[in-house]
Amino acid sequence: MTSQTTPAAAPAWLVEEVRRAKQGSNLDQIGYTSEMLARLELSTVCNSARCPNRGECFSHRTATFLILGEVCTRRCAFCAVCHGHPAGPPDHTEPERLACAVAELGLAHVVITSVTRDDLPDGGANHYAAVVKELRRRCPAVKVELLVPDFLGSEMALTTVLEAAPDILAHNLETVPRLYREVRPGARYERSLWLLQYAKRIAPWITTKSGLMLGLGEAAEEVEAVLRDLAAVHCDMLTLGQYLMPSLAHAPVARYVAKEEFKQWRASALGIGFKSVAAGSLVRSSYKAPLFYREVV
């Protein structure tokens, strides 16, 4: 598991995997899911972040919901979500509309994330709590997974989210500490690690989860150090995926990770103590989330 020079192009097998994932397997279901999201005026990471798995997920009538608007106050070099100055406070009708979508899709497990809202006093924590509360009212059996921002390290904001009692609390470290200034300006590695540690300490019954992108220029020993840091704060679940450039304006891909290397990282992470590990080229935070959560419970 060693670093390589920047490849000229993605390997053919990866190009084919991306093509199949984007295309999906059921055009009727893709159309239905897209229509429903438009009708209920809901945003998704699938669309906003140009996720390569969009077609596959929509084919199975599922999506990762994006709350708190579509404009992020940060400018991460890997992310395709729009950045700038969000307009206005959170939409108080969004929790109800999102719960309606979850009920209509018949989801047993829902993943919800958001843009980062550093402009809000609570970072959007109360809105997250309102979403969970509405889901518990409308869809009491659904498993709720939240992928949250760092709330600028606010204990009060994070406690608000934890008190809403999601089943899974996720926060991605994304990359190794050395690359934070370049890849995640505005974020701090120690703050992100603290969030996962605090969540496990305050609500140990809530499953915690984090994710890393490989291929941004990290060294193998740096990845291993991050995995050990996550294990030390008792993070339960881990995702490892290939970084892919959303556009030419984003951070370049330093290398493409071989399938066998992802298998090695998965075995290594399980050996360190993670309860569930999803590792592969197209793995993202919400990749087959219900399946990998079942490994934990």
Tens-digit pLDDT profile for residues 36-46: 999 999 999 88
Domain boundaries, the chain: 22-296
| pLDDT of res. 5 | 47
End-to-end CA distance of the chain: 31
Three-state DSSP at 81 gives coil
| pLDDT of res. 118 | 95
Neighbours of 89 (CB within 10 A): 13
Q: What is the pLDDT of residues 176-220, one digit of tens each?
A: 999 999 999 999 999 999 999 999 999 999 999 999 999 999 999
190 close to 150: Cβ distance less than 8 angstroms: no
- CA–chain centroid gap for 295, Å, is 18
254 close to 238: Cβ distance less than 8 angstroms: no
| pLDDT of res. 140 | 95
Residues of the chain where predicted confidence (pLDDT) is lower than 50: 1-5
Q: How far apart are CA 243 and CA 215, in angstroms?
A: 6
DSSP code of residue 179: G
DSSP code of residue 150: -
| pTM higher than 0.75 | yes
> Exposed (0-12), middle (13-18) or buried (19+): which is 278, by Cβ within 10 Å?
buried
And the tokens for 219? 């060294």
Query: Which residues does 285 contact at the CB level (< 8 Å), separation at least 6?
Result: 64, 111, 113, 147, 170, 172, 209, 211, 239
> Topology of 22-296 in CATH?
TIM Barrel (3.20.20)
| pLDDT of res. 294 | 86
